[in-house]
Structure 1
Amino acid sequence: MRKITAGLFISVDGIVDNPQDWHFPYFNDEMGEAVSALVAPADTLLFGRVTYDSFAGAWPEREAAGGEDAGFAKALGDMRKIVFSRQDLEFTWRNSEQAKGDLVDVVTALKAEEGGEITLSGSTSVVRQLLEAGLVDELHLLVHPIALQNGGLRLFEEGTTVPLQLISVTAFKTGVLHTVYGPAEAPAQQGYEEAKAHIAQ
């Protein structure tokens, strides 16, 4: 059974969209190591169309330019890339393909195959669906110490309940918290009557 990891940059008030507008002041060596560690064990990347277009519009050029990030760009290019979209897509970035069928069914089948890890970076709608289906083994949230307060896209929509357990948390020098969560059973129903026994006297 293949491991599935998902990583997102997220503000302290839960916003995940347009990280290019607020994320980079917090990118340091610790962040670079965390991002690389998510990709290194994987041989398959999953994308929604919007995130794929963003990656495909940048990383092939960075690989060709041969700069400091060319090695990372090549690693992304060499990986199998599966894109989920309701539109018919055409690809120029190598090793890219469009998924055929229901997202949960496709990923369930991928997870059962032999191979390396499967990872996602961004692609919020895909991450949501996989979390709700219990298919994500590790959710890496890089929580930035900034409240955007702009009404932007959030990881979790209102009305959804996804129980998680904390696996680890690491504080970076920039104030970013790298939190790693795994799936969990829903907690038992309790109220104040049960909680008050734990109040210090």
Structure 2
Amino acid sequence: MRKISAGLFIALDGVVEAPDQWHFPYYNEEMGAAVDATLGRADTMLFGRRTYDSFAGAWPEREAAGGEDAPFAKKLGDARKIVVSNQQLKFVWRNSEQLQGDLIEAVTALKNETADGTIGMSGSVSVVRQLLAAGLLDELHLLVHPIAVRKGMRLFDEGEPPIPLTLISSQTFKTGVLNLVYSPAESVGNASYEDAKVHLPQHEQ
């Protein structure tokens, strides 16, 4: 079964919208390596339409320009790119196609393909939410920036059931960014203060 990994730039207050307006001051070689671990090694990319439009509007030109980011741009161009949208789309970026049918059914079929490569995601918050809720996302890579943006869409919206996660790795960058990788977890169950207080420090009277 193929693994799906999603990567997101996120602020301390949970904002994931418009990271191009606040995250670049924190971008260094450590973050570049983390992004490559999610996107550069994937042979298939899964996008929401808005994120795809943003990528398609920038990366083909960067590849053609032949600058220092051209090798990464070529990786993205060579990858299979599947776009989730309710509208009929036309593509000019090579290796792009529209996801057909129900999202959960189609992604389940993608995961069951015999190919060895991983499926990468960047941004595409609404798709990430749906795959998390359906238990189809294998890894959630959060690059937590030491800034409170205080406006914009947050990763987890209100009114939905809790989603328990397990932290499988963590790293602190020189910029103060936290590179946190989570995987789905079993329900943590119910507990109360009575259960928790036994773990409080015991001080002699």
The two structures share one fold, judged by TM-score above 0.5 = yes
Distance 1:102 1:141 in 2: 27
Identity over aligned residues, as a percent? 68
Corresponding residue for 1:140? 141
Deviation at 1:40, TM superposition (A): 3.1
Contact 2:40 2:76 in 1 (8 A): no
Corresponding residue for 1:95? 95
Deviation at 1:104, TM superposition (A): 0.8
Q: Which blocks of at least 5 consecutive residues in structure 1 are unaligned? A: none
TM norm structure 1: 0.98
Q: Which blocks of at least 5 consecutive residues in structure 2 are unaligned? A: none
DSSP-derived class of the 1:8 partner? strand
Task: State whether structure 2 residue 122 is matched by structure 1 residue 121.
Answer: yes
Distance 1:104 1:189 in 2: 29
Deviation at 1:159, TM superposition (A): 2.0
Distance 1:156 1:177 in 2: 18
After TM superposition, which residue ranges in structure 1, 4 or more long, deviate above 6 angstroms?
A: none
Paired amino acid for 1:122? G
Deviation at 1:64, TM superposition (A): 0.1
Contact 2:40 2:72 in 1 (8 A): no
Corresponding residue for 1:36? 36
Paired amino acid for 1:129? Q
Corresponding residue for 2:192? 191
Distance 1:183 1:13 in 2: 22
Alignment of 1:109-188 (within 5 A): 109-115=109-115, 116-150=117-151, 152-160=152-160, 161-188=162-189
Distance 1:16 1:60 in 2: 24
Deviation at 1:154, TM superposition (A): 0.6
Distance 1:37 1:167 in 2: 15
Deviation at 1:37, TM superposition (A): 1.3
Corresponding residue for 1:17? 17
DSSP-derived class of the 1:77 partner? helix
Paired amino acid for 2:11? S
Corresponding residue for 1:7? 7
Paired amino acid for 1:178? N
Deviation at 1:199, TM superposition (A): 0.6
DSSP-derived class of the 1:94 partner? coil
Distance 1:55 1:30 in 2: 21
TM norm structure 2: 0.96
